[in-house]
Structure 1
Amino acid sequence: MPSSTVQAIRASFFDFRATASSAEEIAGQARYIEDGVLLIEAGRIVRLQPIAPGGDVKAAEVIDLRGKLIMPGFIDTHIHYPQTEITGAPGGELQTWLHHYAFPAEGRYHCAQHAARMSDFFLDQLLRNGTTSALVFGSVHPQSVDALFSAASALNMRLIAGKVMMDRNAPDYLLEDAETSFQQTCELITRWHHHGRLSYALTPRFAPGCSPALLEKVQMLRRRWPDLWLQTHLSETPQEVAWVKSLFPERENYLDVYHHYQLTGRRSVFAHCLHLEEKEWDCLSATHSSIAFCPTSNLFLGSGLFNLQRCWQKRVKMGIGTDIGAGTTFNLLQTLNDAGKVGQLNHYRLSAREAFYHATLGGAHALDLDKWIGNFEAGKEADFVVLDPAVSPLQQLRGANSKDIDEKLFALMTLGDDRNIMQTWVNGQPVWPRTV
């Protein structure tokens, strides 16, 4: 349970006061306090304020973390928890990788005990990497989602997840009929949506895995529960785009398959979006849909390079996804490093401020969670990560040679990994390491 005692944490702090509609706006919204205090009560932010020179902190409990940098908890907008155990499996083209590794791994989640073990492992990996919220794919098995939500509920995490819905173009052991998928999803929504800090996401795997009959069922669920989230994949590879056109020749483009069934809109998050047509960009913007940018998995599978400039130009909300297990790390620092390299290849310089915006408040905005998390504004839920920016000799050397906070953040983004995560706090409580 969150403590009712006012806690005070003294450290350096970095966040963003408000969301931005352009990369240029981000710098003006950034807030860096070199010596500040964060006050927390009952799992909520009371306020963040600088320490006056020679000033004292007045609170019942003071945690002194001077020399460390505290940010809002990282937000992963696209990740497959049943693929945790195949992270780092040999890559290849998307469909080959799915059939050789991803689908067999997901087939194991018919076993509730296996799902429970892997849920604990998965959440531990998120927390040890500073990730406090995520939008998560389960498997087609309802027990996979029950196990994940049960484990997240025990930690009081703000998590959104859903059972994969898929009735074609996959191995028989992962296929379901549309009516069964509909009924099982209804039961999961009733059981878990808005249970504590948990929320449910309708999860049609991708258009090639869904018949029109199944997509109609997803549409019915969205109408019945309009405040649900929706997550799926969109235009990850050119081969996938061509496949969708062959399966849905009556639709104008890949996104139009989802739009036809009224699956675009606020709280709809489309992963990858590497090969979009102009009309698809326009539709995402007009419907206030969101994109999950997954640089590490896109590079690993050779799927393509995301156009971050176009995302800003079209004013489409975007967050960062690790996309475990095609992504090869749970760590968003390493994922941001890859995002910067993708930007370079697209002739776009991703600044450290922009990168951390996407991993925190920008990700919260993409998931329609920025009312609750994403920065240190008063009243928000106290999810944050304590970073040690100098855990290696190279980081110590680079830090000593950094002239300002921007260079320090860029070094953290390019040289950082799980070693930099000193503590992770969820809802005002330290949850990693377990001994805090």
Structure 2
Amino acid sequence: MEFDEGDRVKIEKDGVAYEGIVMPSTTGHIVIKMNSGYNAGIDPENAVVTVLEKKQDVSTPKAPSSTSKKEAATSKLPKVSILSTGGTIASKIDYRTGAVTAQFSANDILQAIPELTEIADFSGKAIYNILSENMKAEYWQELARAIVKEIEDGAQGIIVAHGTDTMMYSAAALSFMIKTPVPIVFVGSQRSADRPSSDNAMNAICAAKVAVSDIAEVTVVMHSDESDDRCDIHRGTKVRKLHTSRRDAFRSVNSAPIGYVDYGTLEINTSLDYVKRGSRELKISDSLETRCAIVKFTPGASPDILAYYIDAGYRGLVIEGTGLGHVSTDWIPQVERATKAGIPVVMTSQCLNGRVCDRVYDTGRDILRAGAIEGENMMPEVALAKMMWALGQSDDYATVVAMMKENISGEITERSLE
């Protein structure tokens, strides 16, 4: 029987029945995405294929009908917008190169994961279609404005489909740029939809549950472990990708996750306080200063590195120091030169866990006397996003310094995990 990509089919072969959505295939096998989220490749020889449901265009508006129970049920579901930026969750095989490329739109995601339509009434929009290494600050601004427009138009939750490599930067930036009354959930996948053991379906379904929840913050929802048990809900300013390829690559740093979604029951369990839905008014502050940089200190590194950024007109610097937040003594004059020129310098640590404290050793005290700001337990990339945002809000040096010291979006916590 003839079938097309996107059709829901039942395949019977060797006494075993498989059911799922037909996916692209670069081999002679029929590839389907099963309800479990896993892909199965089946040799078509002697296989009996039955089309259960033809592919539907979820982008086509539903015609009003008083007789359609399915449409009536959908209209009662929360309205959630999926904004696609590209990345592996919105990728498939490029038949020209054989490599994974960002080609899917937000509507393709909905078609590939039909279980989503049981959770919310979705609309989809592609903001841009890039792999996340091509992310830029101006794209954050475009995304923030698109999110605010969707919320203003009635969206009760937002899902941002994003590449995993730079998702932590985007989530941090949006955490500062938007005060939101509804959930804004970043989600991605480590393996594309048309590969075996793809994590895109489970991650997207868990993200959808968070998008209709009471957690009105910017979060990242990804696999908790290598099994398919649950997805963690990470605060957007406390998450980092810690593995190149594992499905459980994302971890909260210096904090526990807000909670998790149990994939078996789709129930949300929380362990941290969070901003509740509807507890604050929607506000966007999307001005950014892009002339900011992270500088990593290494043993023997020349202070000329800092001098370059100062002389090149950079407006803010984040230093990844050693241990408690240190650089060598010959860097300190350049730190002081920067701060006296009105360039804020934030000291963070190359250590994943713990808090910067420049009051323990002489070098640290000298760094503070030179005007550096202790980054507390912020990750360097979060401090960078915050610096860009703070300088976008004010040209006053003292004001920016005060903002960098203030806990604005959960980026600074009173306690660091041991």
Q: Same fold (TM over 0.5)?
A: no
Larger RCO of the pair (alpha carbons < 8 Å, separation 6+): 1
- Give the TM-score range, shorter chain: under 0.3
**Which of the two has higher C-alpha Rg?**
2
Would you tell me which structure has more helix in proportion to its own residues? 1
Name the TM-score, length of structure 1 as normaliser: 0.26
TM-score normalised over the length of structure 2: 0.27
